[in-house]
Amino acid sequence: MHKPMDLMRDITESDPKIAELIQKELGRIREGVELIPSENFVSKAVLQAMGSVFTNKYSEGYPQKRYYGGQEFVDIMEDLAIERAKKLFGCEHVNVQPYSGSPANMAVFFALLNPGDHYMGLDLVAGGHLTHGSPVNFSGRLFNVHPYTVDKKTHLLDMDSIRKQAKETNPKMILTGLTAYPRKIDFKEFQEICDEVGAYHFSDISHISGLCATGVHESPVPFADVVTTTTHKTLRGPRGAIIMCKKEDRYKNKYHPEGKKDLASLIDFNVFPGIQGGPHDHVNAAKAVAFEEALQPNFKEYAKQIVKNAKALADELMKLGVSLVTNGTDNHLMVIDLSKKNLTGKGKEIQMVLDAANIHTNKNTIPFEPGSPFNPSGIRLGTPAVTTRGMKESEMKVIAKGIATVVDHYQDAQRIAKIKTEIKELCRGFPLYPGLGILQ
């Protein structure tokens, strides 16, 4: 006789190998400082929504327009996610279904451009994302990118030369946004340039959306045609993304005379069925939870503290003789320039030694990288996760000292071990997920 599978077995019993890895990962994040700027620690409520039975549901389509039955609760949940995202960012229209940042961007490319069309995006080594035109990514393989970059000397975006380039190349779209640019972006001026050359403004605020939603960084949402963001970075939600846009397609007659009636339906159509099938309802429920959290007044305090902590970390690092790209930061991240310490191409090695000291970062290119993408000369740091943990300016000083010591003595195993002990001690004062077991 067929015996039904026991759904209620604990993972520690049914799959001890994976359970052990989850437990070890929990230990790792508890004992180290997480400085990868694209990472964060979500709330227990977000974890619970992600680990919920919504994972079982199929809901291709949109609320009230689905291809499967049984949507009475999914529809309410997705409508709530939409309503909350609109309130949080003040957008006219939002699609909450993208699986992650890259597919969200892909849907926007397919909505606005045809394969082969010209656009401008920030060069990867200058701080842009893979999906902003890298030759190995769909954005560089299917579409024609004219990358813009930063100034050779200051490593800042030079709006005059970007304007000049836009006038010369006449792009159909200009993509703004960053993954490793440590300064504010003047989205308004980018909008003016788009208006001047008749280009769509597509802004990808994945890294800074928590800052944009709270007014800590200017938001492009009020004016850009389309804005995407991941939900798992400064926004502190589950892994995923959303696409916000204007209802109206202001270049409809110019670029899409026969297409969808407006920009909102064009975007929705390109997410589903354009790129994706069924939405991840469990993740979308967790997005709704995260948006509600971000609407609370204390999230604004959190966003402000991220930036204060980044400034404190940057100032202390520079005081200790560590050079930073653009000599500091205005947002949540910074990039160490190892070439100034005669450590060109040593990013990978320094990242590994920092890991050994329980300081988690990622190697990164610096503008006009003298090394290579796999052996770059930068280390990228950010403060969203440590700020979630409750750390403030004084803790940033301790962390800066640890980093500076590693950079100056990366071959000195004894010193590295000492820093590891100090970092573990620091972390003990900021318990992470206290009492959390393997299951929420």
Query: Footprint of ligand PLP on this chain (CB under 6 A)?
Result: 38, 100-102, 105, 129, 131, 177, 179, 204, 206-207, 230
Catalytic annotation, pick one of 12, 31, 39, 58: 58
Residue 66 or 155: the one with the smaller Cβ distance to ligand PLP is 155
Cα(270)–Cα(256) distance, integer angstroms: 14
Active site residue 204: yes
Q: Which is nearer to ligand PLP, 105 or 219 (CB)?
A: 105
Minimum distance of ligand PLP from residue 241's CB (angstroms): 6
Q: How far is the CB of 227 from ligand PLP (least distance, A)?
A: 11
Count Cβ atoms below 10 Å from residue 359 Cβ, excluding itself: 23
Q: Which of 243, 265, 235 is nearest to 252 (CA)?
A: 265
Instruction: Name which of 141 and 254 has its Cβ closer to ligand PLP.
Output: 141
Does the annotation count 230 as an active-site position? yes
* Nearest alpha carbon to residue 231 among 222, 220, 240, 223: 240
Catalytic residue among 34, 78, 123, 204: 204
SS3 assignment for the chain:
CCCCCCCCCCHHHHCHHHHHHHHHHHHHHHHCEECCCCCCCCCHHHHHHHCCHHHHCCCCEECCEECCCCCHHHHHHHHHHHHHHHHHHCCCEEECCCCCHHHHHHHHHHHHCCCCCEEEEECHHHCCCHHHCCCCCHHHHCCEEEEECECCCCCCECHHHHHHHHHHHCCCEEEEECCCCCCCCCHHHHHHHHHHHCCEEEEECCCCHHHHHCCCCCCCCCCCCEEEEECCCCCCCCCCEEEEECCCCCCHHHHCCCCCCCHHHHHHHHHHHHHCCCCCHHHHHHHHHHHHHHCCHHHHHHHHHHHHHHHHHHHHHHHCCCCEHHHCCCCCEEEEEHHHHCCCCCHHHHHHHHHHCCEECEEECCCCCCCCCCCCCEEEEECHHHHHCCCCHHHHHHHHHHHHHHHHCCCCHHHHHHHHHHHHHHHHCCCCCCCCCCCC
* Residue closest to ligand PLP, measured at CB: 101
In angstroms, give the least distance from the CB of 276 to ligand PLP.
13
Which residue, 135 or 437, has its beta carbon nearer to ligand PLP? 135
CA distances from 152 to 131, 149, 339 (A): 23, 9, 15
Quote the crossing angle between the two packed helices 281-294 and 72-89, to the nearest 10°.
40
State both tokens at 414.
């004894």
The residue annotated as part of the active site, out of 214, 230, 234, 387, is 230
Taking the least distance from each CB to ligand PLP, the nearer of 124 and 166 is: 124
Q: Which is nearer to ligand PLP, 37 or 371 (CB)?
A: 37
**Least CB distance to ligand PLP at residue 141 (A):** 16
| Nearest approach, Cβ of residue 377 and ligand PLP (Å) | 20
- 233 catalytic per annotation: yes
Residue 235 or 423 with smaller CB distance to ligand PLP: 235
Q: Whose Cβ is closer to ligand PLP: residue 131's or residue 364's?
A: 131
Q: Which residue has the tokens 């159509």?
A: 269
> To the nearest whole angstrom, how small is the minimum distance from the Cβ of residue 105 to ligand PLP?
6
Nearest approach, Cβ of 177 to ligand PLP (angstroms)? Answer: 5
Task: Confirm whether 164 is a catalytic residue.
Answer: no
Q: How far is the CB of 304 from ligand PLP (least distance, A)?
A: 21
Is 107 or 416 the residue whose CB approaches ligand PLP more closely? 107
Among the listed residues 163, 239, 415, 418, the single catalytic one is: 239
Catalytic residue among 60, 218, 248, 349: 60
Question: Cβ 256 to ligand PLP, closest distance in Å?
Answer: 24
Active-site pick, 66, 183, 233, 246: 233
Residues belonging to the active site = 58, 60, 204, 230, 233, 239
